[in-house]
């Protein structure tokens, strides 16, 4: 006990001297958090359960979260004060800068308090992913705040409590921060603080505040600063909490009914979304190359009416391939497109599943093909740690290669986003060649994600007639050139005749910058090209990006168990055609010439649309609204509950492809496949 007391004194002594500013900032954060909690509690809409127990839980849990937030927030200050030399710490300039920094931090805390009040007024909650989302739309959000509140007066008035608090602590803060500190004490305190932060990160969860069935009580027990960063880390927004819902069983039943097509739904588990799809015909294990082209919206293609001649290779594919001409991306970011292509799951509120925790071992296109002994590869031209791509695909039945895996001598051009598309494609061809040399007939599935059609729009010279770096048009034309180069090189390989090439986009190029959804900018091309096995045809049916995976498996004709929300568009009735379009918090459902829009605060709107999907006049359609809610709610449920996992523990007779020996599924059929309606 005596040794523990000595250790506590040793670690606490610096905080009474040099590290006193850390204590001051932590105390200010805790005090202003307490005031914020009391003020929010006083609101008439903060209705709590009766009794003293909820109040005790709110303030005790709240204090714990306040202290955790203080640990995070003050770590940089601890590190600075612990590492700064004694001579510099004693300088008056350094002391003055610390006082100014404290004033700025105190002002920031008061602004956050007011922001929490305004956020609660609109959403009835502490900061969550909506607040994170707002940072992505600063133009609209700041404009809305300026029009709604006297923001200049508010910010000016908030300087008063910050100034008073600074005046109260300025002298002791400056004096104590100048105190000398031995290196042993510096390292010990900095290390302990860092270890505590790491422990809090690993052990503390935002879920711990949810002690009650009452939402207001749970929200008051949290800390706004902590919740903001927790929401950014978790990248999700509860559908059940913020969107209009149906009874869960009704939602799941309706979602299954409208996800029509081949297959038989399974009754177990009762809250699952699984069916057996018997497959069409003998089944074929063709090789597959799926290329998702960065930002290649349909508006750039001559096949869709663009007169600039930017995409001669893709336009030729429209005549030589199975062309799905009415496909809509689910989102406006690469990770959302990768999610749709891999998981065939409607976009759930918040960030893409690719970036969320607990996204491993999910049911995916890769897992279905792996059950048929495919070698599955995800190849990306950039650094795959960006947006968590490497981790996501590695944990979901894909072998992963990114920019770091491409030999330096094979890269003649690269920019900040990645290697030039042609180098990525050449590398993929080399990988396929190596695989085929030792695979003994094993089919392959390669998902390629390009990067060149992205700012700064640079690419190798001499490929096209538009100078590198001159803008989007040049990047589009180069991306098209690289696809033509890829297919030309692939035709020289012995594996080409039995390979199906799927060319699509991750998202459109201009579907950004607004909280609403510019639906017409979500249209993307989709070409399924296999000269030996796929007859050229144009399919104009409405289709979602999540329909690509089940449609591709339907072309192969492989029997499998499926959890996909997407539909095999070639073997499903046209009456069920629909598309999902969304951003971070606005969810759209396009069907029958109408667009249902679901938003937080349980807002629902319906619009009539043009042929391009552009919303026009408001409308009503209760049945379509229920359908949209059912699909989005069920998608959110199956992911959050773990029902979308790839269940390796299933018995053999319930595994995907059960009853089919992969070696007996035809790999090189002579007959020409004729698909489509």
* pLDDT tens by residue, 352-394: 999 888 899 999 999 999 999 999 999 999 999 888 999 999 9
State percent of the chain over pLDDT 70. 89
Q: Phi and psi dihedrals of 43, rounded to 5? A: -65, 145
Helix extents (H) in 371-446 = 389-394, 421-439
How crowded is residue 676: how many other Cβ atoms within 10 Å of its Cβ?
Answer: 16
334 alpha-carbon distance from chain centroid? 9
- Whether residue 292 is contained in a domain is answered as yes
Strands 499-505 and 287-293: parallel
Coil, strand, or helix at residue 434? helix
What's the rounded mean pLDDT across residues 663-668? 42
Residues 38, 8, single domain; the answer is yes
* DSSP codes of every residue in 498-535: GEEEEEEESS-SS--S-SS--GGGGEEEEEEE-TTTB-
Domain containing residue 638: 248-646
Q: CB within 8 A of 401, min separation 6: which ones?
A: 377, 378, 379, 380, 427, 431
Residue 628 lies in a domain: yes
Share of the chain above pLDDT 90, in %: 65
Where does the pLDDT of residue 653 fall: very low under 50, low under 70, confident under 90, or very high at 90 and above? Answer: very low
Is there a contact between 166 and 114 (Cβ–Cβ < 8 Å)?
no
- For the segment 545-566, the average pLDDT, to the nearest whole number, is 96
Do residues 266 and 216 both lie within one domain? Answer: no
Lowest model confidence (mean pLDDT) among 178-182, 310-314, 416-420: 178-182
Chain-centroid distance, C-alpha 265: 29
Is the pLDDT at 280 greater than 90? The verdict is no
Q: Do 275 and 412 belong to one domain? A: yes
- Per-residue pLDDT of 161-202, as tens digits, reads 999 999 999 999 888 988 888 888 888 888 999 999 999 998
CB 331 within 8 A of CB 525: no
pLDDT of residue 649: 37
* 425 found inside a domain: yes
Residues 6+ apart with CB under 8 A from 620: 606
CATH code of the domain containing 544 = 3.40.720.10
Same-domain check for residues 291 and 214: no
Which range, of 34-43, 57-66, 254-263, 607-616, averages the lowest pLDDT? Answer: 607-616
What's CA 505's distance to the chain center, in Å? 16
Q: Which helix (H) or strand (E) holds 326?
A: strand 322-328
pLDDT at residue 558 is higher than 80: yes
CB 292 within 8 A of CB 506: yes
Q: Give pLDDT tens digits for 513-553.
A: 344 688 999 999 999 999 999 999 999 999 999 999 999 99
Of the candidates 514, 582, 587, the one whose C-alpha atom is nearest the C-alpha of residue 242 is 587
Query: Per-residue pLDDT for 666 more than 70?
Result: no
DSSP state at residue 278 = -
Other CB atoms within 10 A of residue 418 CB:
25
Confidence of residue 1 (pLDDT cuts 50, 70, 90): very low
Residue 413 has pLDDT above 60, yes or no: yes
Across 93-108, average pLDDT: 93
Task: Give, in order, the Cα–Cα distances in Å from 531 to each of 321, 322, 429, 471, 647.
Answer: 8, 10, 18, 34, 36
Most confident of 88-102, 113-127, 296-310: 296-310
- pLDDT for position 234: 66
pLDDT tens for residues 462-496?
Answer: 999 999 999 999 999 999 999 999 999 999 999 99
In this model, does residue 664 exceed pLDDT 60?
no
378's enclosing H/E stretch is strand 375-380
Question: What is the pLDDT of the chain when averaged over all its residues?
Answer: 88
Distance CA 336, CA 294 (A): 12
Buried residues in 375-401 as b, exposed as e (16+ CB within 10 A): bbbbbbbbbbeebbbbbbbeebbbebb
CB-based burial of residue 595 (10 Å sphere; 0-12 exposed, 13-18 middle, 19+ buried)?
Answer: buried
Residues 676 and 540: beta-carbon distance below 8 Å: no
Beta strands, E only, 456-602: 499-505, 523-529, 537-539, 543-544, 560-562, 579-582, 587-591, 594-599
In a domain, 36, yes or no: yes
Q: Is 80 exceeded by the pLDDT of residue 122?
A: no
Residues 170 and 300 in one domain: no
Angle at 274 between CA 656 and CA 571, to 5 degrees: 80
Residue 533 is predicted with a pLDDT of: 95
Do residues 502 and 551 share a domain?
A: yes
Report, as an integer, the average pLDDT of 27-33.
Answer: 93
Give the pLDDT of residue 677: 29
- The confidence score (pLDDT) of residue 652 equals 42
**For 611-621, what is the mean pLDDT?**
87
667 domain-assigned: no
- Per DSSP bridges, beta strands 615-619 and 603-609 are antiparallel
> Would residue 339 count as lying in a domain?
yes
What is the mean predicted confidence (pLDDT) over 643-664? 54
- Please tell me whether residues 166 and 265 are part of one structural domain: no
DSSP string, 300-325: G-GGGT--S---HHHHHHHHHSEEEE
CA 424 to CA 415: how far, in whole Å? 13
Q: What is the pTM of this model?
A: 0.76
In the predicted structure, residue 595 carries a pLDDT above the cut 90: yes
Q: Does 191 map to a domain?
A: yes
| Residue 422 burial (CB count, 10 A) | 24
CB of 116 within 8 A of CB of 225?
no
| pLDDT at 618 > cutoff 80 | yes
**Residues 53 and 157 both lie in one domain:** yes
Contact between residue 200 and residue 68 where contact means Cβ atoms under 8 Å apart? yes
Please state, in angstroms and rounded to a whole number, the distance separating the CA atoms of residues 120 and 44: 12
379 and 410, same domain (yes or no): yes
pLDDT of residue 410: 93
Mean pLDDT of 561-578: 96
User: Does the pLDDT at position 128 exceed 80?
Assistant: no
Count the Cβ atoms, other than its own, within 10 Å of residue 335.
Answer: 22
Residues 229 and 258 both lie in one domain: no
CA distance 263 to 275: 6
pLDDT class for 656, splitting at 50, 70, 90? very low
344 in Cβ contact with 567 (< 8 Å): no
Confidence of residue 143 (pLDDT cuts 50, 70, 90): low
- Going by pLDDT thresholds of 50, 70 and 90, the confidence category of residue 214 is confident
Sheet holding 264-265, edge to edge: 264-265, 275-277, 560-562
Q: What per-residue confidence (pLDDT) applies to 658?
A: 43
Q: Has residue 651 been placed in a domain?
A: no
Q: How many CB atoms are located within 10 Å of the residue 614 CB?
A: 14
Higher-pLDDT residue of 661, 476: 476
Structure confidence at residue 182 (pLDDT): 85
CA distance from start to end of the chain: 81
Average of pLDDT values for 336-349? 96
Same domain, 211 and 252: no
Residues 6+ apart with CB under 8 A from 26: 67, 70, 71, 73, 74
Task: Tell me, yes or no, whether 193 and 259 share the same domain.
Answer: no
Give the whole-angstrom CA distance, residue 236 versus residue 293: 26
What does the alpha-carbon distance between residue 478 and residue 463 come to, in Å, rounded to a whole number?
7
* DSSP-derived secondary structure letter, 591: E
Alpha-carbon distance of 631 to 99, in angstroms, equals: 54
Question: What is the total count of domains within the chain?
Answer: 2
């Amino acid at each position: 006990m005596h040794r523990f007391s000595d250790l506590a004194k040793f670690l606490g002594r610096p905080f009474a001297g040099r590290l006193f500013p850390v204590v001051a900032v932590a105390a200010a954060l805790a005090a202003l958090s307490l005031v914020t909690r009391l003020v929010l509690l006083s609101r008439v809409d903060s209705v709590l359960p009766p009794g003293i127990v909820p109040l005790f839980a709110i303030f005790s849990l709240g204090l714990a979260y306040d202290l955790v937030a203080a640990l995070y927030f003050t770590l940089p200050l601890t590190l600075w004060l612990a590492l700064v030399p004694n001579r510099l710490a004693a300088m008056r300039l350094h002391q003055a800068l610390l006082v100014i920094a404290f004033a700025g931090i105190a002002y920031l805390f008061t602004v956050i308090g007011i922001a929490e009040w305004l956020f609660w007024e609109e959403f009835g909650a502490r900061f969550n992913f909506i607040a994170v989302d707002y940072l992505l739309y600063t133009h609209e959000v700041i404009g809305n705040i300026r029009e709604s509140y006297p923001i200049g007066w508010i910010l000016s008035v908030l300087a008063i409590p910050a100034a008073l608090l600074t005046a109260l602590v300025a002298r002791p803060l400056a004096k104590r921060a100048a105190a000398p500190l031995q290196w042993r004490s510096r390292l010990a305190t900095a290390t302990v603080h860092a270890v505590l932060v790491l422990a809090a990160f690993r052990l503390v969860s935002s879920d711990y505040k949810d002690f009650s069935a009452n939402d207001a009580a749970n929200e008051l027990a949290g800390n706004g600063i902590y919740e903001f960063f927790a929401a950014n880390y978790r990248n999700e927004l509860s559908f059940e909490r913020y969107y209009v819902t149906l009874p869960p069983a009704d939602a799941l039943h309706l979602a299954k009914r409208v996800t029509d097509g081949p297959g038989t739904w399974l009754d177990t588990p009762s809250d699952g979304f699984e069916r057996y799809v018997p497959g069409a015909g003998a089944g074929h294990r063709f090789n597959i190359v799926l290329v998702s082209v960065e930002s290649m919206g349909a508006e750039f293609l001559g096949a869709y009416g663009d007169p600039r001649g930017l995409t001669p290779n893709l336009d030729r594919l429209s005549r030589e391939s199975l062309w799905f001409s009415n496909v809509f991306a689910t989102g406006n970011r690469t990770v959302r497109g990768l999610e749709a292509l891999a998981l065939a799951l409607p976009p759930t509120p918040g960030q893409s599943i690719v970036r969320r925790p607990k996204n491993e071992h999910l049911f995916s296109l890769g897992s279905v093909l792996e059950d048929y002994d495919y070698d599955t590869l995800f190849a990306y031209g950039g650094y795959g740690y960006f947006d968590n791509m490497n981790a996501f695909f590695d944990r979901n039945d894909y072998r992963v290669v990114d920019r770091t895996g491409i030999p330096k001598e094979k890269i003649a051009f690269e920019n900040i986003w990645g290697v030039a598309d042609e180098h990525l494609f050449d590398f993929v061809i080399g990988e396929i060649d190596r695989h085929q040399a030792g695979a003994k007939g094993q089919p392959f599935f390669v998902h390629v994600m390009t990067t060149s059609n992205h700012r700064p729009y640079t690419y190798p010279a001499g490929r096209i007639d538009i100078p590198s770096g001159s803008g989007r048009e040049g990047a589009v034309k180069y991306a098209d050139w690289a696809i033509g180069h890829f297919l030309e090189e692939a035709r020289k390989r012995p594996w080409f005749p039995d390979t199906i090439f799927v060319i699509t986009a991750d998202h459109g190029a201009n579907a950004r910058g607004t909280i609403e959804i510019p639906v017409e900018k979500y249209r993307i091309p989709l070409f399924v090209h296999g000269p030996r096995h796929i007859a050229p045809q144009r399919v104009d049916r409405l289709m979602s990006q999540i329909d690509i995976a089940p449609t591709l498996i339907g072309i192969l004709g492989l029997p499998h168990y499926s959890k996909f929300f997407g539909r095999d568009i070639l073997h499903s009735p046209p009456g069920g055609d629909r598309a999902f379009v969304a951003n971070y918090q606005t969810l759209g459902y396009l069907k029958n010439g109408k667009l249902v829009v679901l938003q937080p605060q349980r807002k629902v709107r319906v619009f009539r649309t043009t042929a391009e999907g552009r919303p026009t006049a408001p409308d009503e359609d209760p049945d379509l609204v229920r359908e949209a809610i059912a699909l989005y709610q069920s998608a959110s449920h199956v992911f959050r509950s773990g029902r979308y996992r790839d269940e390796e523990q299933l018995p053999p007779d319930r595994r995907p492809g059960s009853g089919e020996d992969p070696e007996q599924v035809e790999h090189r059929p002579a007959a020409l496949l004729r698909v489509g309606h």
